[in-house]
Structure 1
């Protein structure tokens, strides 16, 4: 079993163990084990249309957008041009193993992916929590100090200065004087 031909995203790919492919976007998380059950060929065995009991397991590496493809249309002598761009979502997968005879993917690959996810999720959470607590503590200390002088100043200004009256408007000149 040196290679297999799989079908995914409307395309066919020839894969072998440890190959890295960029395929159409898959709904999975980074590090998950993805299985492709539409196997068209394994080694010398050709399916009709699929090979019975064959399975290809892969580890999801990343999902990101492809480079921008520019679509430019022009109609000669009509002063008509249209420019548009498109970025396709692609998933990068690493083929871990090609299985036949109804075998399931090995648990080591799945366990390896779980441990890497657990480590990456826990590390940022620990660092972010103390920063948030420190920010809240500084806000709590600063808030009472600022609030007290404002109230005292507001009361003192009201006692010292009486309210100003708006200036009276001048009467408009009368039009019937001639």
Structure 2
């Protein structure tokens, strides 16, 4: 194999006496001047090694200068690997008030690319995946739009039968409910509001009704603890 067959596209352009075409693309808030065959490191992209991505924000390509970008122009590149940059040491020392110091390191996540093609026109019709930053809002939207396996639907919870509060049977004349242990004027008024006005009503409560009324009045087990049902049976007899 001769040297001419091993030469890249940039060398072929130089042999023909022409300057190789270059482009200026923008990604990750930075601008890069690239030619076909260049290897560059950019802010991490949402792409895997071996994928081809396309940069559509081209500020300049060949003799065309964008205002601010060149319509239809694009730069395509192959993802070589996802890497980390060199460690940067950040050191802060505060003396005046706090007398503290802090030292930490950071390695930026990057994507290693090889430029494969520069397109002056037709970039919007190639169908190649757009180069999107991994941490950008657009990148999150792309990930969210990816098809996912449908999760099995959970069975609807069976509604538990609720214990109904005791029916408020109307009493011809209300009893003095304050005779029950722990019942004051405020609690008596509250019991009247829910329809409990006589000892006979309380004496007829079932255990389920005791729990339901206890929850309704917010008594936290006081009905059973104070023995209201037994007291009501005695008081109802007069």
Query: Structure 2 matches for 1:54-65, cutoff 5 A?
Result: 54-65=73-84
Pair 1:12 & 2:35 matched:
no
Return the alpha-carbon distance in structure 2 between the equivalents of residues 64 and 51 of structure 1. 30
Return the alpha-carbon distance in structure 1 between the equivalents of residues 31 and 120 of structure 2. 19
- The 1:63–1:9 alpha-carbon spacing in structure 2 relative to 1, beyond 3 Å, is same
Segments of 5+ residues of structure 1 without an aligned counterpart are 108-178
Match for 2:48 among 29, 43, 62?
Answer: 29
Return the alpha-carbon distance in structure 2 between the equivalents of residues 51 and 106 of structure 1. 18
Residue of structure 2 in register with 1:41 after alignment: 60
Q: Would you say the 8 A contact 1:97–1:105 is kept in 2?
A: no
Return the alpha-carbon distance in structure 2 between the equivalents of residues 16 and 83 of structure 1. 39
| Greater than 6 Å deviation, 4+ residue runs | none
Residue of structure 2 in register with 1:87 after alignment: 107
The structure with the largest strand share of the pair is: 1
Return the alpha-carbon distance in structure 1 between the equivalents of residues 43 and 104 of structure 2. 21
Residue of structure 2 in register with 1:158 after alignment: none
Return the alpha-carbon distance in structure 1 between the equivalents of residues 127 and 77 of structure 2. 11
TM-score, structure 2 length as denominator? 0.42
RMSD (Å) for aligned C-alpha atoms: 2.0
Return the alpha-carbon distance in structure 2 between the equivalents of residues 2 and 100 of structure 1. 10
Q: Secondary structure at the match of 1:21?
A: strand
Which structure exhibits the higher relative contact order, with contacts defined as CA atoms closer than 8 Å and separated by 6 or more residues? 1
Deviations 1:123-153 (A, max 9, x none): xxxxxxxxxxxxxxxxxxxxxxxxxxxxxxx
Return the alpha-carbon distance in structure 1 between the equivalents of residues 110 and 45 of structure 2. 8
Return the alpha-carbon distance in structure 1 between the equivalents of residues 27 and 94 of structure 2. 36
CA shift at 1:75, angstroms?
Answer: 2.3
Deviations 1:5-53 (A, max 9, x none): 0000010000000000000000111010010000000122100111011
CA shift at 1:79, angstroms?
Answer: 2.9
TM-score, structure 1 length as denominator? 0.56
Residue of structure 1 in register with 2:21 after alignment: 2
Q: Would you say the 8 A contact 1:99–1:105 is kept in 2?
A: no
Equivalent residues, number: 107
Q: Would you say the 8 A contact 1:54–1:99 is kept in 2?
A: yes
Segments of 5+ residues of structure 2 without an aligned counterpart are 1-19, 129-238
**Bigger Rg, structure 1 or 2:** 2
